[in-house]
Amino acid sequence: MVRWMSGACSIEVAVAGASLDARFFGSPARDEATGETLVPVYDRSGPAYDLDRSGSERMGRDIEAFFAGEREPTFRFARFEPR
């Protein structure tokens, strides 16, 4: 598994067979109802990243977009996770 970080955002990438699977984590925030610190988790809207040049280029563009603050439609909110 590999993790990239930029500020409070991060991306975890793991090998899944012949492709890479990525999870995108937004900036943590305090849930006022529970007092917990939660992190929004986003999934990429589309297929996994193939282990070839086009998959690598697509992953690079997605990482750049996520760290630039883009979310929908490339990424879809999946859930909150405790930090």
Number of domains the chain is built from:
1
**pLDDT tens, position by position, 31-79:** 999 999 999 999 988 888 999 999 999 999 999 999 998 888 889 999 9
User: What domain range is 78 assigned to?
Assistant: 2-82
Type of residue numbered 26 = G
The pTM of the full predicted model, rounded to 2 decimals, is: 0.81
Asked if 25 contacts 41 with a C-beta cutoff of 8 angstroms, the reply is yes
Burial class (CB in 10 A: 0-12, 13-18, 19+), 32: exposed
**Position 7 pLDDT exceeds 80:** no
**Poorest-pLDDT segment among 1-10, 14-23, 48-57, 65-74:** 1-10
Residue 18 is predicted with a pLDDT of 85
Distance of CA 67 to the CA centre of its chain: 9
